[in-house]
Each structure stands twice: as C-alpha cells, then as structure tokens.
Structure 1
Amino acid sequence: MVNNMYADAFSLERLLHRQKSLNRRISAVIVLIVATLAIGLVQYSQSFFFSLALFCLSLYLVVIQISTENKIAEILHRMDFSLSQFEDRDTREVVEKKLTKLFGNIPQRITSNAEMARTRGGDEKGPTWGKQDGDLGEVANYRDAVEQGKVFEGLEGELSNAEKMLRSADEDYSQMAQQRWETSQRNDPDLIEAGVETLAELVTTDYFEKNPKDGAVEELMGQTSE
C-alpha cells in the first residue's frame, strides 16, 4: 500500500513536469503560427503550409496535454497522501490547486464527514456534560475530567476470552520489560562506577562531564539500528 502510494506520488510529479513542458511547447507553437500567418498575409508567400503544419503539431500537443491531465486527475482521485510527500514547493502548490479543483477546499488531507465535524458540539451522539450550561458560550462550569469520567466505568462490559488473553499477555510483557530494564541498570558498569542505581540518578550527576566519549552518539545509534 505504501509502495503504491509513493509510486503514485512519483508518477504524479513526473506528469506535472510533463504538463508544464507541454504548456511551454504549445505556447511556442501558437506564437509561431501567428507569426507565420502574419508573414504570409503580408508577403503572400507559401508560409501558409508551414502554418498548417504548426497547427497540426499544436493539435497533437493539445491531445497529449489532455491525456496527461486525465492521468493526473485519475491519480489524484485514487491517492491517499499528504502534500508533504512532494519535496518541491512548486509541485506541492500545483497538486494542492488541482486537489482543490477536484474535491473542493482541502487542507493537507481529504477529510470525510465534514458536516458532522461542524455540528459535533450539539450532536446527541457527542458528550452531554455541557448541556446543563445550555448553549455553548464564554461561561461554562468547570468539570474535573477524572471525577466526571467515572460515569463511563463499566460501560464496556465483561471482556471476552480473547480480550482477557491479550490483556494478560500485555501485563506479562510489561512486567518482563520492567524486569529486564531493572536488571540492565543493576549490571550497567557506568551506574556501578557512579554509585547510583538508576539512569535517572546518573543523569543528575556530573558523570558524563567527567567521562566524555567521542562518537558515543554514533555508536548508540548504530546499536539501535541493528
């Protein structure tokens, strides 16, 4: 899915550059047609045939331009992407304009259910805590999120066997990770040398200032990537 998305982005960028080049060529051909027609009318030469050839060339370029435009629209219709994928600023602006033309005013990503988002404050399916204050306004009673959140306790019902198994596994993995971290700290030579028990305590000391190491960040990043 991600590969297809970036392939579409690459194809779109290539088509936009082709479209820009075609626009320049069409403009140049039109200028040549006008010039040759003007010369032909003034000098009564055979430049009319040259103008006709240029006109046919311009029609060919227009057909390619229309085909390119259709391909761009097709890619934009099926793509799900962020404009930040396009490194070139001019390309981003062109894509944003085309998206706006196709789908209306959009930010970075096409959003759905916009009507619900605009009316969410008064929607019956939304939170009900504010209804005792009446319409939304500048004055509202303060509510403690922790205290008010108790009204939702027990709403999810009893967990299924699969959900219980997942919760149990999450708790076991959490305990294992914590134990490994504590063991790693107990066996860490830097902590032992500094006479502290945790990394947080080590950071508050001057251990790193007294024991600088060139390339420590690069070494750490290399171990992380492996």
Structure 2
Amino acid sequence: MLIWSFIIFVDLLMLAAYLQTQDVRAVLSLLWPVILGTLILLYFVLVGSLRSQQSMEVRLNALLDTLELSWEDVGQLDLTEERRDLILDVFANNAMSSEHVNADYRRTRGTDAKGPAFGNEKSDFEPASKRQDPSAHEHDYDGLEGPLGTAEALLEEANKSYAARAQERWEASEQADIDMIEAGVDRLGDLVKTDWFEKNAKDGAVAELMEQDEPV
C-alpha cells in the first residue's frame, strides 16, 4: 500500500511539472524531498517491526523460563504456525547462545549438544586435547532434582506400586517352590548355597526352560 501511494504521488508531481513546463532539475527538486521522506518512513517501519519481533522473543524467553516445556509439548499446543515457529526459534536460540549449560539442560544432558563437560576451551576432539575432569564439576549437579512434577510424582508412585507387587509375587513364588521346600530353605539364595543344583543337574535344562510358553 505504501509503495503504491508513493508511485501515485510521484506520477502526480510529474504531471504537475509537465503542465508547468518545468525542466528536469525542477522535477528533481520536487521529487527528492518525497523520496527522502519515504525512505525515512520505510526505515522507521522496518525498525519498529524488528523491535516488535525482538520484544516478542524476549517475552517468550521469560515465559519459557517459568515453564517446563519440551519440543514435543510445543508441538501439541494449539498455536498458529507463526507462533509455533517463533517458540521453536526461541528454544533453539537459548540452546545455542548459552555459554554454560543451565539446570534444565543438565537434567536432559543426554540430548544436549553441549554435553556434560563444562570446560571453556573450544577445540576439536583430538588425542592431544586436554582432558576435562568430571569430578571437578560434581557440585554443578547439586540440587538439580528438586520437587517432583505432577507426571514425575505419578511415575514414582507407579514404580513403587509395581516394585511392591513384584516383591510380593517373588516371595509367594519362593514359598510355593517345591524344590526349596524339599531342601528346607526359605530363600532362593539359601538354595544356591547348598549342593542342590549339583545333585539335580540336568542336561538341556536351560533350553527346556526357554521353550516354555508360560512364565515360571
């Protein structure tokens, strides 16, 4: 719209110059203030747009610092394509511009491009490179776990429940095992200490066990 307005305005000036039978210098003297003003206007429009974009990235940075989001979480949000791309760009800029890996990246250091070594020396991997002692940075991991999130607490509760059920099934299996009853022991470890396995050795026992469809 701005470009078309400029073209129409220039055409009107040239028409006015023609009607007044002015020479080229007179036309240029009329045009240069318009051209200069248009360029200045375009400059301020571009600068304002760039500052608005940078301001949006700063606000998104502050927002993402308070949220626990992953790349997968961003993909599931109901966002416009422009907003989603902007958030992903902020993620990438945060990861690449950080000189030192922060706590969030240390938690997922297996996928962090910077890795777990925090040395400041920038060099290629070579046999002659200086070794980074991991023990010198053990304190960097202090207090990283913090309170569990909702999903983490649910997973921890499920793990404890599964472990308790597995232990109950193991103890019940030990108590019902005929071989252990005959040997007069209560634990599988106690049965291993005896000579029961040497006395009851059987060729192909492992292969026979592996061919069973039902769990023992």
TM-score (norm 2): 0.35
Q: TM-score, normalised by structure 1?
A: 0.34
Structure with the greater alpha carbon radius of gyration: 2
Q: Which has the higher helix share?
A: 1
Using CA pairs under 8 Å that are at least 6 residues apart, name the structure with larger relative contact order, 1 or 2.
1
